[in-house]
A and B are shown apart, each in its own frame.
Chain A
Amino acid sequence: MSALVLAGGQVLADGVIDFNVGALGRNFWSLTVSGLTYGSIYALVAVGYTLVYGVLRLINFAHSEIFMLGMFGQYATLMLLGFNPSGDVYQQGVLLTIVFLAVAMVGGMVVSGGAAVGLERIAYRPLRRRGAPPLVFLITAIGASFVIQEFVHFVLPSLTGNTLGGVNAQQPIRLVQPATQFEVFGARVSNVDLVIVASALVLAFAVDRFVNATKFGRGIRAVAQDPVTATLMGVSRERVIMLTFLIGGVLAGAAALLYTLRVPSGIIYSGGFILGIKAFSAAVLGGIGNLRGALLGGLLLGVMELYGQALFGTEWRDVVAFVLLILVLMFRPTGILGESLGKARA
């Protein structure tokens, strides 16, 4: 054992992990801006986890694949609109670009939302009918995750004549050339950053209103709080469940478009996995089951991750995210804002 301790000492002594405080200080604000951009995307995906967890006490492990399908959905929409995949930036003028982006976003939302509802129908509903234990749900979700990934990996290319899916990432269709808009404390804020953060905030706000201030939202909250009583009071549990999957899926579809604005070549069958884990971490960070927690957790995770990356080096980014997750669970297992969809009263 002492050998291991020695070994640990040697690791640090060798300077294997450098602490680059200078880089963190120098780029603090630009890291913050980037972090918020990623954080908004995490937050949107995290909403899907948090809603489903709040209602069903189920980690929808396949949600990351719903997000991945959303990327393909918006990409296919753009192709249907007549864009050819290439690495180039299209010059469509601002107004047309807005329209195309909006349509692509809707395309992503439709695919993701549909896939989420389909997943619920095909995979989860039969299990619910049988009253399966949580472990069974989780394993089904893992299975579904495999199936969706491999579908895009192998089946989709043959269905679409090798234009979609396959081993390689899709060639990007870029509608927006990132260009600096203004600077905050020396950090350059680009048009892409603005679109992402603004869209995410508005969508998050809309969902928050929807859950907290509409009749359907009340239904969701009621089921989250007490499914039996809610059913007795006339709330259709099945419908609420479908609605939560739909909302989660739609937001994942929106996040998919925003993500591809930031990372145009990220459209690949395996592209959802890590992002999904991080989004889940974000949900846990903020308090799973809590909508506002998802937003807070997402932004926090995005920012912390980039700080950590600057501090320790680029290769430690994922480690920072996972360690953060473990620390939060150890010291505050219910997350920052506490977990409760039912009690999130408006």
Chain B
Amino acid sequence: MSTELTTTAPAAPHLGVGDRVRLWWDALPRQAQWVVGVVGVLLIALLPVLRPPVLTTVGTDFGGVLAQFGMYALLAIGLNVVVGQAGLLDLGYVGFYAIGAYTVGLLTSPSSPWNATDDWLSRDWAWLAALPLAVAVTAVSGLILGTPTLRLRGDYLAIVTLGFGEIVRLLADNLSTVTGGGRGLNQIAYPVVAQSETRPNGIFSAGNTAVPFNSGTFWFWLSLVLIVVVLVIVGNLERSRVGRAWVAIREDEDAAEIMGVPTFKFKLWAFLIGASIGGLSGALYAGQVQFVVPTTFNVINSMLFLCAVVLGGQGNKLGVILGAFAVVYLPNFFLGRTELFGIPIDGNAIANYRYLFFGVALMVLMVFRPQGLFPARQKLLTYGREVYVMARKAATALAGRGAGTAAATTTDRPGGAR
């Protein structure tokens, strides 16, 4: 499984572990990649059921933590499209997360004036019905924000999006007759399926606490499914004309424009797609927590999402998932833990200092490995993968060379999803 471990290999004159894995993966035929991917996803899905001894969180429910990881992974994939692929720094991504969550909340919470569940929408299916709406509304909000601001240069865009993130939160806070303001919206609908004697409200209800098949586990599985779907869509986009346009924009916008890439259009696409994925994640949040309140969507969370993307490696959609895992899992790993491998530690204090550690990690990473822990490899050519494999194999064949090319820090990647 080896999800988050980073092995440091000595600077040997051969390919690092990460490169080997990558080479092996790239050399596999498409069908084999699918098979390996499915097995990998299944293994990850089994995590909350197996609850491996050291990995399982102590102070918090492992299933719940993984459910949050699922949402953050979606956020990271979405933000990665904007930041990693198209090179647009979005510091207000939490705004889309909030819009997604609030759309579901407004449509299905009894305390909202626009509650549709006591009207024409069955409460059992309300969440599922609200999900595509949430995605659509967020996409539109991405369009509304993007149209005027995407003409701006990089740094300005960063600040404008930061302002946007704050505005969304402040709107949720101030428009209290609609959003409930600081009171939030409660009793948001969730999918009521597979009701049984022990689970009267279905498997997704927060009341389902039968470990290991508790609600957190099911939400994690649901988000896993969505992650795979989103990965397939984003992966195809990446390999299409759109993806190549994004890379061109990221590398040099002016040059791209001159070469005939309609940069504004593709930037808007990136924004829109990123926003809708954020909205999807927000809808998941609303369903799982069944309660939304503006403070959850504080702008500092945007930084956390960005942290996940940068940590994982901008542009590498699997890398950012691991980044999201680190951001969500590590604080929870320490929370409530009093000893680790026999060494007594104050886990709560460590968890409390998480922003300090994230800050230090960001700074150190930017100096020594600005491309992230799992950097992206660009494959601009249509047959780029094949060319890359051949080139690398040829290079490896010339043994002894390439000492400098393989980075000292190499990484272990899951054999997993693509």
Contact = CB atoms under 8 A, between A and B. Distances in A.
Task: Establish whether A and B are touching in the complex (CB under 8 Å).
Answer: yes
A16 B178 contact: yes
A83 interface: no
A319 B171 contact: yes
A252 B359 CA distance: 22
Given A318-B170, A319-B174, A326-B164, A135 B359 contact: no
Contact of B356 (A7, A14, A130, A151): A151
Contact of B155 (A138, A150, A318): A138
B159 A280 contact: yes
Contact of A326 (B163, B303, B353, B358): B163
Contact of B359 (A132, A134, A147): A147
B177 A277 contact: no
Residue among B137, B160, B167, B359 with most chain A CB within 10 A:
B359
Nearest to B359: A146
Question: Which of A123, A139, A154, A330 is most buried by chain B, counting CB atoms within 10 A of its CB?
Answer: A139
A329 interface: yes
Interface residues of B, number: 46
A3 B119 CA distance: 15
Contact of A136 (B174, B303, B370): B370
Contacts of B353: 150, 154
Contacts of A10: 113, 178
Nearest to B309: A139
Interface string A319-333: 100110110011001
Interface stretch (B255-263, B338-346, B361-369): B361-369
Given A281-B159, A319-B174, A322-B167, A149 B152 contact: no
Nearest to B154: A134
Interface string B77-93: 00000000001010000
Residue of B166, B303, B370 contacting most chain A CB atoms (<10 Å): B370
B167 A323 contact: yes
A1 interface: yes
B352 interface: yes
A25 interface: no
A133 B87 CA distance: 11
A150 B159 contact: no
A326 B363 contact: no
A87 interface: no
Contacts of B306: 139, 142
Contacts of B39: none
B366 A140 contact: yes
B264 interface: no
Given A138-B155, A319-B167, A14 B177 contact: yes
Interface in B78-124: 87, 89, 113-114
A154 B356 contact: yes
Residues of B contacting A: mostly? helix
Contacts of B360: 143, 147
Nearest to A57: B155
Question: Which of B153, B158, B366 has the most CB atoms of chain A within a 10 A radius of its CB?
Answer: B366
Given A134-B155, A319-B167, A326 B160 contact: yes
Nearest to B137: A4
A30 B291 CA distance: 42
Nearest to A144: B363
B175 A140 contact: no
B34 interface: no
Nearest to B113: A10
B247 to A, nearest CB: 14
Contacts of A212: none
A154 B352 contact: yes
A288 to B, nearest CB: 8
A283 to B, nearest CB: 10
B162 interface: yes
B155 A315 contact: no
Contacts of B174: 16-17, 313, 315-316, 319
B12 interface: no
- Interface size grouping (class) on chain A: 35 or more
B160 to A, nearest CB: 6
A100 to B, nearest CB: 34
B10 interface: no
Nearest to B103: A4
B140 interface: yes
A146 B365 CA distance: 14
B152 A333 contact: yes
Contacts of A315: 170, 173-174
B89 A11 contact: no
A16 B167 CA distance: 16
B149 interface: yes
A330 B366 contact: no
Nearest to A274: B166
Interface centre among A136, A146, A315, A330 (most CB of B within 10 A): A146
A251 interface: no
B370 A146 contact: no
Given A11-B175, A126-B367, A138-B89, A284 B159 contact: yes
A133 B83 CA distance: 13
Nearest to B353: A154
Contacts of A330: 148-149
A145 B366 contact: no
B362 A329 contact: no
A98 to B, nearest CB: 38
A323 B153 CA distance: 18
A322 B359 contact: no
Contacts of B352: 154
B355 A149 contact: yes
A133 B137 CA distance: 34
- Highest count of chain A CB atoms <10 Å: which of B158, B177, B356, B363: B363
Given A318-B166, A322-B167, A326-B149, A146 B356 contact: yes
A134 to B, nearest CB: 6
B156 interface: yes
A277 B158 contact: no
Interface string A4-33: 100100110010110000000000000000
B284 interface: no
Query: Nearest 3 pairs between A and B by C-beta?
Result: A146-B359, A143-B362, A322-B163
Interface of B: 87, 89, 113-114, 137, 140, 148-149, 151-156, 158-160, 162-164, 166-167, 170-171, 173-178, 303, 306, 310, 352-353, 355-356, 358-363, 366-367, 370
16 contacts: A14-B178, A16-B174, A58-B155, A59-B158, A132-B366, A134-B155, A140-B363, A143-B358, A143-B360, A146-B303, A146-B356, A147-B359, A150-B359, A316-B170, A318-B170, A329-B152
Given A325-B163, A333-B156, 10 more contacts: A4-B140, A10-B178, A16-B178, A130-B367, A130-B370, A135-B87, A147-B363, A318-B170, A319-B171, A329-B160
